[in-house]
Amino acid sequence: MSLTDTSISSVLQEERLIHPPPAFSNEAHVSSLRKLKALRKQAAADIYAFWEERARALDWFAPWRSTCEWKYPRAKWFVGGKLNVAHNCLDRHVAGWRRNKAAIIWEGEPGDTRTLTYQALFTQVCKFANVLKGLGVKRGDVVAIYMGMLPEAAIAMLACARIGATHTVVFGGFSADALRERINDSKAVCVVTQDDAYRRGQSIALKEAVDEAVKKSATVRKVVVLRRSGVEVRMKSRRDHWWHELMADASPIASAPALNSEHPLFILYTSGSTGKPKGILHTTGGYLTQAAYTTKMVFDLREDDLYFCTADVGWITGHSYIVYGPLANGASLFMYEGAPNHPEPDRFWDMIARHRITIFYTAPTAIRAFMKWGDKHPRRHDLSSLRLLGTVGEPINPEAWMWYHRVIGGGRCPIVDTWWQTETGAIMISPLPGATPLKPGTATLPLPGIDADVVRRDGSPCDVNEGGYLVVKQPWPSMLRTVFGDFQRYKKTYWSEYPPQKDGRPAYYFTGDGARRDADGYIWIMGRVDDVVNVSGHRLGTAEIESALVSHQSVAEAAVVARPDDVKGNALVAFVTLKGQAKQSARAVEKLRSALRNHVGGEIGHIARPDEIRFTDALPKTRSGKIMRRLLREIAAGGSITGDTTTLEDFSVLERLREADDDA
């Protein structure tokens, strides 16, 4: 990854300041800025003591010997401590009055609903833990979960956690090829899936994709299939089993063994700037400590809340803020299966009104879509139950923030803009809603216990409003432990931009995000500085999309960049050179465009399909042969080339690219 190609300049100046409403603050866990500052000071004075206190909110079967062992770039938290994540999310709640509290209130896309109390969820998890054991899944084995948004996805995750199997959830929107790659990389022995999933009234054939993905798998021995729609699927004898048949015979009694704090809880794949996706590995004690703590503080969770996070369990937000964080706190969570605009664009508002949801956590791309669909949809519903809103996934533009605040929050709900990553495991930078004065467009300040900063290339802190790189200066409990199977890649990607210095300065964790701090210390994220783009809140490595394009028989070379898009945040533009340059008819070109888009859809998944494909006879390159993406980005955005072009090898390419632009 090169940082030299990236000039960071900040154009955004936002002056509005929105204070927490007194009625909210009075009831909040942290009720004033003064108290938040005191907490931050306490954490800074002894960061390990601070996190120890948070860890004590969990049930431990054995205490830890040391809080954090940090040997660059290897971190261990609560070493020697023993616990079980499922025990923390279930057993300790069913031992008391929460037994009868709703854990999951679920609504299917067609409108069917289910409610699982903590007792019911506990029973299902114990049974499925026994099912997995019965299929030969052992502690340390990897189980792939490829499902839609059903309570059973959470049940499968918790059952893995209970027996010490490591889960890898693969987003149901990924293709069979992407699933195969993740199954092979993680060496999964078992796949949990469903017949098909509902999405916008259509059905997505998940079992079929699994069949395709495990055809030549050397590791997968068992496939468990949940029946959702009832569509006929082919079951391979001995390998495939129906969920309901196995569950009918399973015992509801399953112990929760004491697992090491550093036991691997899950692997979650995320895009990198080069090559294949990275299997981000999270472990047990540190992860759950920070997921539970941040859920409670950032969402100011109360016993009577009904909390709705619109993410999919296939992303980190679904792991930390649908399943583990809320359940560790004994919260009631609302889970929805389908699309936000099915059957009508008011689906979310309709559900908020019917279920009296109190906390709503979504992504800026969704908010921009809601804005586009119009105020009339939320206006038709009574949203007065809402008391707190949240966003995650990308910078939120101040206008979308104001709309969210006014139209959805009725001007009375604080908004928590939460910055974090798959790698950080839990929220790192965020307001606390009862304490932090908000500015639209910024995630505000690092949470207590998190030492994040904006620094220059040489590691020195940036001045006020000077653009730089967002780093984390001290390890934190829920940080990734490695890239599964590739420790060198872990070290290189995250810990080599700012390695430890001879003068004693420790290594900094490199986030890959550009940022600036304003005069109040608020951190404004300016986007990625590497070749990772954020489309509709999903991180995509442009390198992956490029290799998918190049794997098409007609393509010689491809470069993918992002250009700003009103709704998706970014749209993907692919510059493609073809093998052989024979002039083709306009119809043939159009046909090839759609073939390439479908090809990428098949290789990676529909979210990665380029919005625009431009054919060109050459790509702008440096003398050393590196594609000059900055130029392509400028061309894609429709602007003129402003930056330095002195390293460009062939100037005429630029002219030809502009011509390609006219064709597009």
Alpha-carbon span 577 to 627, nearest angstrom? 13
89 or 392: CB nearest ligand WTA: 392
Strands 509-517 and 523-528 turn out to be antiparallel
Minimum distance from CB of 625 to ligand WTA (Å)? 28
- State which residue, 128 or 420, has the beta carbon closest to ligand WTA: 420
- Nearer to ligand WTA (CB atom), residue 165 or residue 443: 443
**Nearest distance, CB of residue 111 and ligand WTA, angstroms:** 30
- How distant, in Å, are the alpha carbons of 228, 247, 377 from that of 346? 24, 36, 5
Kindly state the smallest distance separating residue 258's Cβ from ligand WTA, in Å.
Answer: 30
Our CB check for ligand WTA shows the closer of 330 and 431 to be 431
Kindly state the DSSP code that residue 511 receives in the 8-state scheme: E
Q: How far is the CB of 417 from ligand WTA (least distance, A)?
A: 5
Task: Tell me whether residue 130 or residue 289 sits nearer to ligand WTA (CB atom).
Answer: 289
Rule CB under 6 A: which residues touch ligand WTA?
Answer: 270, 315-317, 392-395, 417-422, 443, 511-513, 525, 528, 534, 539
Instruction: Rank residues 169 and 254 by Cβ distance to ligand WTA and give the closer one.
Output: 169
CB of 550 to ligand WTA, least distance (A): 25
Tell me 606's DSSP state.
G
59 burial (CB, 10 Å; 0-12 / 13-18 / 19+) is: middle
Distance CA 279, CA 112 (A): 35
The total number of residues written for the chain in this structure: 664
Q: How far is the CB of 175 from ligand WTA (least distance, A)?
A: 19
24, 434 Cβ separation under 8 angstroms: yes
E strands present in 158-246 = 166-169, 190-194, 197-199, 202-204, 222-226, 240-242
The closest of 228, 64, 226 to 159, measured between CA atoms, is: 226
Q: How far is the CB of 4 from ligand WTA (least distance, A)?
A: 20
Nearer to ligand WTA, 224 or 443 (CB): 443
Going by their DSSP bridges, the two strands 222-226 and 240-242 should be labelled as parallel
Count CB atoms within 10 A of the CB of residue 316. Answer: 24
Minimum CB separation of residue 6 from ligand WTA in Å reads 13
* 475 in Cβ contact with 489 (< 8 Å): no
Give the residue nearest to ligand WTA (CB): 422
Q: What Rg, from alpha-carbon coordinates, does the chain have?
A: 24
Rounded CA gap, 514 and 525, in Å?
6
Nearest distance from C-beta of residue 155 to ligand WTA, angstroms: 23
Q: How far is the CB of 549 from ligand WTA (least distance, A)?
A: 22
Closest approach of ligand WTA to the CB of residue 446, in Å: 12
3-state helix, strand, coil in the chain (%, to 5): 35, 25, 45
Name the residue nearer to ligand WTA (CB basis): 123 or 365: 365
* Nearer of residues 31 and 442 to ligand WTA, judged by Cβ: 442
The residue among 328, 307, 536, 290 whose CA lies nearest residue 427 is 290
Q: How far is the CB of 192 from ligand WTA (least distance, A)?
A: 22
**Token pair for residue 470?**
């967002």
Helices (H), 82-150: 85-86, 92-94, 118-134
Taking the CA atoms of 285, 290, 295 and 300 in sequence, report the sign of the dihedral they define.
Answer: positive
The enclosing H or E element of 575 equals strand 569-578
Q: Which is nearer to ligand WTA, 194 or 482 (CB)?
A: 482
Q: How far is CA 481 from CA 55, 74, 75, 84, 187, in A?
A: 18, 7, 6, 18, 18
DSSP state letters, 455-483: E-TTSPBPPTT--EEEEE-S--TT---EE
Q: Please, which residue, 14 or 69, has the CB nearer to ligand WTA?
A: 14
Burial of 503 (0-12, 13-18, 19+ CB in 10 A): exposed
Min separation Cβ 442 and ligand WTA, Å: 8
> What minimum distance in Å lies between the beta carbon of 311 and ligand WTA?
8
Beta bridge mates, 333: 104, 307
Q: Determine contact, residues 366/403, Cβ cutoff 8 Å.
A: no
Q: Which is nearer to ligand WTA, 421 or 616 (CB)?
A: 421
Q: How far is the CB of 269 from ligand WTA (least distance, A)?
A: 10
Pick the closer one to ligand WTA by CB: 67 or 511. 511
Q: Which two tokens stand for residue 200?
A: 């916008």
Q: Compare residues 443 and 558 and give the one whose CB is closer to ligand WTA.
A: 443
179/416 with CB nearer ligand WTA:
416
